[in-house]
Amino acid sequence: MNIHEALEIVSQTHSGMVRSHNEDSVIYDASCGMVVLADGMGGYNAGEVASGIAVSVLATEIKHRLESVRPEDRDDSGEEIGVALLRENVQKANASIYSAAQSQPQYAGMGTTIVAGLFYDNKVAVAHVGDSRMYRLRGETFETITRDHSLLQEQIDGGMISKEDARVSRNKNLVTRAVGIDAEVAVEVNVHEVQIGDIYLLCSDGLNDMVEDEDIGSTLQMLQANLPLAAGQLIEMANDNGGRDNVSVILAKVKGDFAAPRGWLANLLSWFKN
């Protein structure tokens, strides 16, 4: 099955009940199995600009490169191309945002979080910077598969604060990494194997700060047969609970096998591609 048939993807974004601007950006491309979500920060509308640059750089660059390379192949350094593509393009977005910020005073200091997934060969490579998350629903289990780059997460990891206390911490929303605020950025990329029936949720903190993980998970489980309804329901819940921030979600459901074709014919054909 090709990636387009194997994945069902929907996205939705909302500025929430309090903010006047929506500084989140979302994009996806089912034909390459790519999903990208960014939560921008900065004065005026700089957040919108930063997150917009991030998603468009990734979407256009990766789609373009995938016309001539296969993500499951390995490059000269031995790394999977899918992984390298994500990392390099987040760094490209970083350079782009950073230089835009330097050139215009109203964009000074702007930045964005990012969480991006590339599905190929029955796996998903996930790159992220900041506290926008990717969750996975597999059967009855709903959990995050990214770890926030935030002050609170470091405190939890260091044993300084419990998860329950973290919920009422006043240091929420302080990220330790962001795209576009420095000349260089450390991108975290991990690869996860994918199973049929999995549902992946990318979201900005406007969702997980307003709705408990448990409620997000049970909503997804109950409405998994209707992805657009599930996306709308999550946004509605965030807004019903106060909607104090922009809220965005991308849902990707795995409906079939998308193993990369192997064997001499596939390799020959891909040789022609290059």
Partner 1 sequence: MAAKLILSMDGVVLHEYTLNKERMTIGRKPHNDVAIDNLAVSGEHAAIVTILNDSFLEDMDSTNGVMVNGAPVKKHFLQNNDVIEIGKYKLKYMNEQKGQATAEDFEKTMVLRAPVKTQNVDTTMKTTQVTPPPTHAATGKFEAAPPQAAVAQPSAMPAPAEKPPVPPSAAVRPAALQILSGPNAGRELDLVKNLTTLGKPGVQVAVLTRRPNGYFITHVEGASYPTLNGKMLDEHPHQLSDHNIIELAGIKMEFYFKE
- The dihedrals phi and psi of 119, each to the nearest 5 degrees, come to -95, 130
**CB atoms near residue 8 (< 10 Å):** 15
Identify which of residues 222 and 259 has a Cβ nearer to partner 1 in the complex. Answer: 222
Identify which of residues 115 and 118 has a Cβ nearer to partner 1 in the complex. Answer: 115
Q: How far apart are CA 210 and CA 185, in angstroms?
A: 28
Q: Letter for the amino acid at 146?
A: T
Identify which of residues 116 and 237 has a Cβ nearer to partner 1 in the complex. Answer: 237
Stretch that binds partner 1, among 27-35, 82-90, 115-123, 205-213 (CB under 8 A): 205-213
Minimum CB separation of residue 166 from partner 1 in Å reads 9
Give the angle subtended at the CA of 124 by the CAs of 11 and 130, to the nearest 5°: 65
Note whether 206 binds partner 1 by CB under 8 A. yes
Minimum CB separation of residue 112 from partner 1 in Å reads 9
Identify which of residues 12 and 124 has a Cβ nearer to partner 1 in the complex. Answer: 12
Note whether 99 binds partner 1 by CB under 8 A. no
Residues with Cβ < 8 Å from 69, sequence gap 6 or more? 81, 85, 273, 274
Note whether 163 binds partner 1 by CB under 8 A. no
**CB atoms near residue 13 (< 10 Å):** 19
Minimum CB separation of residue 92 from partner 1 in Å reads 15
Stretch that binds partner 1, among 16-24, 59-67, 73-81, 187-195 (CB under 8 A): 16-24
Q: How far apart are CA 118 and CA 261, in angstroms?
A: 17
Note whether 223 binds partner 1 by CB under 8 A. yes
Size of the site for partner 1 (CB under 8 A): 57
24-83 positions binding partner 1, by CB under 8 A = 39, 41-43
Identify which of residues 64 and 167 has a Cβ nearer to partner 1 in the complex. Answer: 167
Instruction: Decide: residue 232, CB within 10 A, 0-12 exposed, 13-18 middle, 19+ buried.
Output: middle
Using alpha carbons, select from 47, 5, 3 the residue that is nearest to residue 25. Answer: 47
Token output for 36: 């990208």
Identify which of residues 3 and 54 has a Cβ nearer to partner 1 in the complex. Answer: 54
Identify which of residues 52 and 130 has a Cβ nearer to partner 1 in the complex. Answer: 130
Q: Which residues pair with 35 in a beta bridge?
A: 28, 117
**CB atoms near residue 234 (< 10 Å):** 25
164-183 positions binding partner 1, by CB under 8 A = 165, 167-176, 178, 181-183
Q: How far apart are CA 26 and CA 106, in angstroms?
A: 23
Q: Which residues bind partner 1 (CB under 8 A)?
A: 18-20, 39, 41-43, 109, 111, 113, 130-131, 151, 154-155, 157-161, 165, 167-176, 178, 181-184, 205-206, 209-211, 215, 218-219, 222-223, 225-226, 229, 233, 236-237, 240-242, 244-245
